[in-house]
A and B are shown apart, each in its own frame.
Chain A
Amino acid sequence: MPVSDFQPVIGLEVHAQLLTQSKIFCGCSTAFGAEPNRNTCPVCLGMPGVLPVLNQRVVEFAVRTGLALECTVKKTSVWSRKNYFYPDLPKGYQITQYDQPICEHGRLVIDTPQGEKVIRVRRIHMEEDAGKNVHDASGGQSLVDLNRAGVPLLEIVSEPDLRDADEAVEYLKAMRDVLVYLGVNDGNLEEGSFRCDANVSVMPKGSSTYGQRCELKNLNSFRFLKQAIEYEISRQVDVIESGGKVDQETRLWDVNKGVTRSMRSKEEAHDYRYFPEPDLPPLHVSDAAIDAAAKALPELPRAKLTRFTSQYGLPAYDARILTAERPLADFFEACAAHYADAKKLSNWFLGELMRLLKEEGTPLSALRFTPAQLAELLGAVDKGTVSANAGKDVLGEMFRTGKAPADIIAEKGLAQVSDTGAIEAVVDDILAKNAGEVEKYRAGKKQVFGFFVGQVMRAMKGKGNPTLVNDLLKKKLGD
């Protein structure tokens, strides 16, 4: 059977570092990039005698995420120990949640070529991150950096509802958008603060029994996720086609070779010996806390996108870009409150503003001008006070200096000449000087018109109101 006769079945496990100030079980900072082992204390170093104390912010973030993903938030959940030896795991066990996670039975809607699709979320649980082993190539030594040990993580596990690599990528993007919107995660795949493992299996089309699955690791970009899943699907199909059996195992995505390779077989899999963490009582979340979190829930990306198309009459393309990040969407809405033509505003956002943000590498939070000032600039363009081109220069200047648009227009002399008399004088002058061209035009060579516009604008140093220049030229040429 060819690949097309097989149905891939995919589930994703997302690990998202929570944006808390301190670690999950101690007061150490979660800041990224500190000198190795700087952000540590006896607790996250796993010293003898230490005990974990739960950071309540972590619970708040988990509840918020659970509600956003339409989960049931459990009023009682239980901490467990996952036991295994590794140098980056100071206590020899990870404190996590196992058979009683904080959230269950959620969903996330994604877009597919066939339309919207609901991907079920099986569970969300909280856990602590491990540290990092650093292998020193020169000295043959391995070093351990425990700055990351104890940084809070959410693990979000989907049901195996995804059917191809593109759906998996869509799901991961939608998940990232939600988490970033909620302010619980920075969505950074490259730095590993947002990561994912994929469980992939294939079965003959029409079958209702899932095939043996493999877990893929090291998928630290959307591109790698897609490539690894596609590779793995064809690998599994090949194994079955050649009469073999897919073994349950953990496989690592090899970025350089573009293949997945076996990391751990089922036999080598750890027996984690989970048991309830005796140092932490069961976690209780009150109805009041859940209600408060529900009330404080921001509008989510998908809802915002729908509203942007209906409320502002924007095309889906525009709405999608404008709502991709919450600060951009918020800024757009702040501007729209001062300026009625949402589509025109969107054009400026998608064009000039995003170009400037990208080129200057400025975050929106550091923007130097106000929504009202941007609206003022667009109004000036509409009124013809400045040309659209000059308006772009003004925006650039606002971006760099934070000066008011009116001041910039005045300082730089960018105001458009809309005085009919003044323009008429110039038009007359140009036509008089170019009598030969006027003859040609009148003889039917209409393309000379552009030449006249150019001459007038040049004489006016680009400040002539183009509509007026056009109108007057046409009138004088007898059109």
Chain B
Amino acid sequence: MQLTDLTMLELAAKLAAGAVSSEEATRACLERIRQVDPKVRAFLRVDEEGALVAARASDARRKAGNPASPLDGVPVGLKDIFLTEGVETTAGSRILEGFVPPYDATVVRLLKEAGLPLVGKLNMDEFAMGSSNESSAYSLTHNPWDLTRTPGGSSGGSSAAVAAREVFGALGTDTGGSIRQPAALTNTVGLKPTYGRVSRFGIIAFASSLDQPGPMTRTVGDTAALLQLIARHDPQDATSAAVETPDYSADLEGGVRGLRLGVPREYFIEGMDPEVEASVREALREYERLGATLVDVSLPHTKYALATYYLIAPAEASSNLARYDGIRYGQRAKDARGLKELYAQTRERGFGPEVKRRIMLGTYALSAGYYDAYYLRAQKVRTLIREDFTKVFKDVDAVLSPTSPVPAFKLGEKVDDPLSMYLMDVFTLPCNLAGLPGLSVPCGFTKAGLPVGLQVLGRPFDEARLLRIARAYEREHDFFLRPAPLRG
């Protein structure tokens, strides 16, 4: 057993007992990265020096009996969408190549204050636009369970690094499933908190009304512990909720006896992978055995979610990405003559095809004469989708579904087929549109050994219950113990 095989909480216990130092744990991560990342390619940047400095400071605090948090000294990684002062941050885009932020994202500051060494920046789809990590301008990340396959996206660097045990945990962001889908495809746990639960300040914006950062770890307990550090009101984010943070670990082992769990019929569709469906159905039966009541529910507007999402998210993105104009930071076309050419060439060369596609989609949806038919209408449907959930949550405590309709697909398989790529998010994005919390927990493997994820959706700010539900299942299985084979 290697040090990197420990969960976050196991490592934290050893750090607290003085059995191991944060520097040792951090060096173990760095060594593991050296060994396996040439195959996985999860990292865009490793901040060895920064991580070791933080680890030694953590060890000093532990020695003085003064740890900054329960996870003080546990090394983690960050999706390259989180701004890190002094460490290049690119959001997987050429246009931000060389951009060194002058400030830390709020969640980065919180992790630093909690004493977690930040090992490096993880690959992602460019500006988080994608479901396979293939739109990254820098490198192709491989799924540790099958190196020929995608680790999911857009937080695919984070899921791969956690699954390959290069870090103990990571932060990702989720706009339409970008935490949960990669978690499902890599046998890891990923939680998208309620919109407003975690600060967005200092996170490169994709779609402001949908983006939400969250933990990606190997176990439910680790996710609860990591969420504990970042879930709080932030006065620098006007959409951050002033809601008290509960103790997410307190009731983790509470079980599901007596809970009513909704199974939405719209989430078991034709065309989904039969092995995925079988794994999820088996998980549902497990919940019954554990004392929960399954309730057949309907979320009738689910079929409009994909179309709604692909109007709202690109519309907001088209505006959010306007600031990448080559004037103040990032890349600038050197040989442009005149302002218009400067803009055109900078953005032509700086953005990849998927980002351009979405900017154009969003610009169109917001144009004079089309706004009412597209953006405004999409907002109305969004309200209907939210109301679907509100109605269902009057009857049930949570909703269960597959996270992704298929297991990890081959790299290159869907690159030229954006529509089938967009379908990868069909089960995850209603949750973002409704602003609800959702998580993905491992629920088995296909015959080929590809992980399958179970999605748990809940009421606003009901993360503690989602974690408890996920933990009840996890306790009965050992999926999280299995190491990824790192083979192709």
- A residues sitting closer than 8 Å to B (CB atoms) are 42, 45-54, 81, 83, 85, 87, 90-93, 142, 144, 271, 273-275, 278-281
Contact = CB atoms under 8 A, between A and B. Distances in A.
Given A271-B368, A279-B239, A48 B319 contact: no
Given A48-B83, A278-B209, A273 B319 contact: yes
Contacts of A144: 327-328
A372 B397 CA distance: 76
Nearest to B89: A48
Interface stretch (B100-108, B164-172, B223-231, B473-481): B100-108
Contact of B322 (A51, A83, A142, A279): A83
Interface string B171-212: 000000000000000000000000000001111110111000
A275 B237 contact: no
A45 B328 contact: yes
B96 A53 contact: no
B409 interface: no
Contact of B96 (A42, A48, A52, A280): A48
Nearest to A85: B343
B252 to A, nearest CB: 32
B322 A91 contact: yes
B99 A85 contact: no
Nearest to A84: B322
Contacts of B325: 85, 87, 92
Contact of A93 (B96, B322, B363): B322
A145 to B, nearest CB: 12
B315 A279 contact: no
A52 B201 contact: no
Nearest to B339: A87
User: Which of B205, B318, B327 has most chain A Cβ within 10 Å?
Assistant: B327
Given A47-B329, A49-B205, A278 B99 contact: no
A92 B105 contact: no
Given A87-B339, A275-B371, A48 B239 contact: no
A187 to B, nearest CB: 31
Given A51-B201, A275-B375, A46 B366 contact: no
Interface in B49-95: 83, 89, 91
Nearest to B199: A51
Contacts of B366: 83, 273-275
Interface string B436-468: 000000000000000000000000000000000
19 contacts: A47-B101, A47-B103, A47-B328, A48-B89, A48-B204, A48-B205, A50-B201, A51-B201, A51-B239, A53-B235, A53-B236, A87-B327, A90-B323, A91-B323, A92-B325, A142-B339, A273-B368, A275-B315, A280-B239
Contacts of A275: 315-316, 319, 366, 371, 375
Interface in B322-371: 322-323, 325, 327-329, 339, 343, 363, 366-368, 371
B377 to A, nearest CB: 13
Interface in B110-151: none
> Which 8 residue pairs are nearest across A and B when measured between Cβ atoms?
A92-B322, A278-B208, A273-B366, A278-B209, A49-B202, A48-B204, A46-B323, A49-B83
Interface residues of B, number: 42
A54 B202 CA distance: 17
Nearest to B340: A85
B243 interface: no
Given A83-B366, A85-B322, A273-B366, A51 B236 contact: yes
Contacts of B96: 48
Contacts, number: 100
A81 B323 CA distance: 13
A427 to B, nearest CB: 83
B278 interface: no
Nearest to A46: B323
Nearest to B105: A49
A50 to B, nearest CB: 7
A48 B235 contact: no
Given A92-B319, A273-B371, A279-B205, 12 more contacts: A48-B205, A49-B200, A49-B203, A51-B200, A51-B237, A53-B236, A54-B238, A87-B327, A144-B328, A273-B319, A280-B238, A281-B238
Contacts of B319: 81, 83, 92-93, 273, 275
A273 B323 contact: no
Contacts of B327: 87, 90, 144
A50 B83 CA distance: 10
Contacts of B208: 278-279
A279 B238 contact: yes
A139 to B, nearest CB: 16
Nearest to A52: B238
A49 B201 contact: yes
Nearest to B366: A273
A91 B327 CA distance: 11
Interface string B358-401: 00000100111001000100000000000000000000000000
User: Which of B208, B237, B238, B339 has most chain A Cβ within 10 Å?
Assistant: B238
Contacts of B89: 48
User: Which of B202, B236, B319, B321 has most chain A Cβ within 10 Å?
Assistant: B319
Contacts of B321: 92
Nearest to A270: B368
B100 to A, nearest CB: 11
A148 B318 CA distance: 25
A281 B239 contact: yes
B233 to A, nearest CB: 13
Nearest to B211: A278
A418 to B, nearest CB: 71
A308 B25 CA distance: 81
Nearest to A269: B368
Contacts of B207: 278
B51 to A, nearest CB: 22
A222 to B, nearest CB: 33
A82 to B, nearest CB: 10
A46 B328 contact: yes
B402 to A, nearest CB: 29
A101 B201 CA distance: 26
A128 to B, nearest CB: 14
Interface in B283-298: none
A85 B322 CA distance: 7
A208 to B, nearest CB: 28
Contacts of A91: 322-323
Nearest to B330: A48
